[in-house]
Amino acid sequence: MSDKKMLTAREVYVVLRDAPTISRSIRRITNATWDEIYCGLITVNVDDWVITLYNDCGELDYCDSCYSPEGRRYEFSSRDASDPIDLLTPAEHRQLEELLRRI
Protein backbone atom coordinates (compact mmCIF):
# COMPACT_ATOMS: atom_id res chain seq x y z
CA MET A 1 0.00 0.00 0.00
CA SER A 2 1.34 3.44 -0.86
CA ASP A 3 2.38 5.88 1.85
CA LYS A 4 -0.30 8.39 0.86
CA LYS A 5 -2.90 5.92 2.16
CA MET A 6 -1.25 5.94 5.58
CA LEU A 7 -2.13 8.36 8.37
CA THR A 8 0.68 9.82 10.40
CA ALA A 9 0.75 9.62 14.18
CA ARG A 10 0.46 13.43 14.24
CA GLU A 11 -2.78 13.38 12.20
CA VAL A 12 -4.33 10.88 14.62
CA TYR A 13 -2.99 12.85 17.60
CA VAL A 14 -4.87 15.97 16.44
CA VAL A 15 -8.18 14.08 16.40
CA LEU A 16 -7.50 12.55 19.84
CA ARG A 17 -6.31 15.87 21.27
CA ASP A 18 -9.41 17.69 20.07
CA ALA A 19 -11.97 15.01 21.03
CA PRO A 20 -12.46 16.15 24.65
CA THR A 21 -12.24 19.90 24.04
CA ILE A 22 -13.91 20.62 20.70
CA SER A 23 -17.50 19.80 19.83
CA ARG A 24 -16.72 16.54 18.09
CA SER A 25 -19.22 13.74 17.80
CA ILE A 26 -17.83 10.80 19.78
CA ARG A 27 -19.39 7.45 20.53
CA ARG A 28 -18.18 4.10 21.70
CA ILE A 29 -18.39 1.31 19.09
CA THR A 30 -17.21 -1.43 21.44
CA ASN A 31 -20.11 -2.80 23.51
CA ALA A 32 -18.19 -2.83 26.79
CA THR A 33 -17.38 0.40 28.62
CA TRP A 34 -13.86 1.59 29.43
CA ASP A 35 -14.17 0.29 33.01
CA GLU A 36 -15.67 -3.04 31.90
CA ILE A 37 -12.79 -3.66 29.51
CA TYR A 38 -10.12 -2.72 32.06
CA CYS A 39 -7.41 -4.42 29.97
CA GLY A 40 -7.97 -4.62 26.23
CA LEU A 41 -9.05 -2.77 23.11
CA ILE A 42 -11.84 -0.20 22.87
CA THR A 43 -13.03 1.28 19.59
CA VAL A 44 -14.61 4.71 19.30
CA ASN A 45 -15.95 6.84 16.47
CA VAL A 46 -14.84 10.49 16.53
CA ASP A 47 -16.43 12.47 13.69
CA ASP A 48 -16.33 9.33 11.51
CA TRP A 49 -12.72 8.55 12.42
CA VAL A 50 -12.70 4.96 13.74
CA ILE A 51 -10.05 4.73 16.44
CA THR A 52 -9.05 1.67 18.46
CA LEU A 53 -7.20 2.35 21.71
CA TYR A 54 -5.60 0.01 24.24
CA ASN A 55 -6.82 0.22 27.84
CA ASP A 56 -4.05 -1.17 30.07
CA CYS A 57 -5.50 -1.78 33.52
CA GLY A 58 -7.63 1.36 33.33
CA GLU A 59 -4.97 3.58 31.74
CA LEU A 60 -4.80 4.73 28.13
CA ASP A 61 -1.69 3.03 26.75
CA TYR A 62 -1.51 3.29 22.95
CA CYS A 63 -3.46 3.76 19.73
CA ASP A 64 -3.85 0.37 18.04
CA SER A 65 -5.36 1.66 14.79
CA CYS A 66 -7.21 4.53 13.18
CA TYR A 67 -9.19 4.86 9.97
CA SER A 68 -10.03 8.31 8.62
CA PRO A 69 -13.34 9.07 6.88
CA GLU A 70 -11.43 9.07 3.56
CA GLY A 71 -10.14 5.52 4.17
CA ARG A 72 -6.58 6.35 5.17
CA ARG A 73 -5.22 4.29 8.06
CA TYR A 74 -2.78 4.23 10.96
CA GLU A 75 -1.78 0.94 12.57
CA PHE A 76 0.36 0.54 15.67
CA SER A 77 3.71 -1.15 15.20
CA SER A 78 6.21 -1.72 17.95
CA ARG A 79 8.88 -1.00 15.28
CA ASP A 80 7.42 2.47 14.72
CA ALA A 81 8.44 4.92 17.41
CA SER A 82 5.48 7.20 16.66
CA ASP A 83 2.32 6.61 18.68
CA PRO A 84 -0.36 9.32 18.75
CA ILE A 85 -0.83 8.76 22.50
CA ASP A 86 2.83 9.62 23.12
CA LEU A 87 2.26 13.01 21.49
CA LEU A 88 -0.44 14.00 24.02
CA THR A 89 0.58 16.29 26.85
CA PRO A 90 -0.16 14.94 30.35
CA ALA A 91 -3.25 17.20 30.53
CA GLU A 92 -4.50 16.09 27.09
CA HIS A 93 -3.91 12.44 28.05
CA ARG A 94 -5.92 12.88 31.25
CA GLN A 95 -8.77 14.66 29.42
CA LEU A 96 -8.97 11.90 26.82
CA GLU A 97 -9.02 9.16 29.48
CA GLU A 98 -11.81 10.97 31.32
CA LEU A 99 -13.81 11.23 28.08
CA LEU A 100 -13.32 7.53 27.38
CA ARG A 101 -14.64 6.67 30.87
CA ARG A 102 -17.80 8.77 30.27
CA ILE A 103 -18.89 7.40 26.89
| pLDDT tens by residue, 6-38 | 999 999 999 999 998 887 789 999 999 999 999
Above 70 in pLDDT, residue 79? no
Q: For residue 77, name the pLDDT band (cuts at 50, 70, 90).
A: confident
Q: Give pTM, 2 decimals.
A: 0.90
Q: How far apart are CA 39 and CA 5, in angstroms?
A: 30
Q: What is the pLDDT of residue 78?
A: 60
**Domain boundaries of the chain, sorted by first residue:** 3-102
Count CB atoms within 10 A of the CB of residue 95.
17
For strand 26-28 and strand 39-46, is the pairing parallel, antiparallel, or unpaired? antiparallel
